[in-house]
Amino acid sequence: MDELDRVVDDRPLYGRRRRILLRVVVLVAVGAMLLPILVNLAAVSSATAASACAVATRYEDPDANGSVVRFEIFGPGVIGWECYATGGFGGERHIISLGLIPGMVELPHGVRA
């Protein structure tokens, strides 16, 4: 009887199929928790970058028609948000690199945006 108890105790609690299913369910649950955070981070970063780019463009190139902000991996500032001025000069001109998580730009003291 002692031998039989030892054999029963050595077996895994759940079968292989159930363990794989549990792992998949846990990974899907973790992904479902992280996805809204990542989407929110992207939306807030995009809005902040657009606002900062508009301010920087008005300061650097007042004659520009507008500004464009893009997330670039191989841009002038390596990885992050890049700000470009658009205008009548025939294309886009790089204004400032805003970084991976953009913040508002610092203008010289006394300058109004």
| 35 in any annotated domain | yes
Question: Would you state the pLDDT for residue 113?
Answer: 60
Q: What is the mean pLDDT of the chain?
A: 86
Residue positions counted in the chain: 113
Question: Would you state the pLDDT for residue 71?
Answer: 93
Look at the pTM and tell me if it is higher than 0.85.
Answer: no
Question: Would you state the pLDDT for residue 23?
Answer: 96
pLDDT digits (tens, 9 = 90+) for 14-64: 888 999 999 999 999 999 999 999 999 999 999 999 999 999 998 888 888
Number of domains in the chain: 1
Question: Would you state the pLDDT for residue 51?
Answer: 94
Query: What one-letter code names the amino acid at 18?
Result: R
| 105 in any annotated domain | no
Assess contact for 83 and 104: CB atoms under 8 A: no
| 113 in any annotated domain | no
CA–CA dist 37, 41 (Å, integer): 6
CA–CA dist 82, 33 (Å, integer): 29
| 67 in any annotated domain | yes
Question: Would you state the pLDDT for residue 28?
Answer: 97
Mean local confidence (pLDDT), 66-81? 90
Assess contact for 53 and 96: CB atoms under 8 A: yes
Residue appearing with tokens 């009887």: 1
| 107 in any annotated domain | no
Task: Please give the residue range of the domain that contains residue 25.
Answer: 2-99
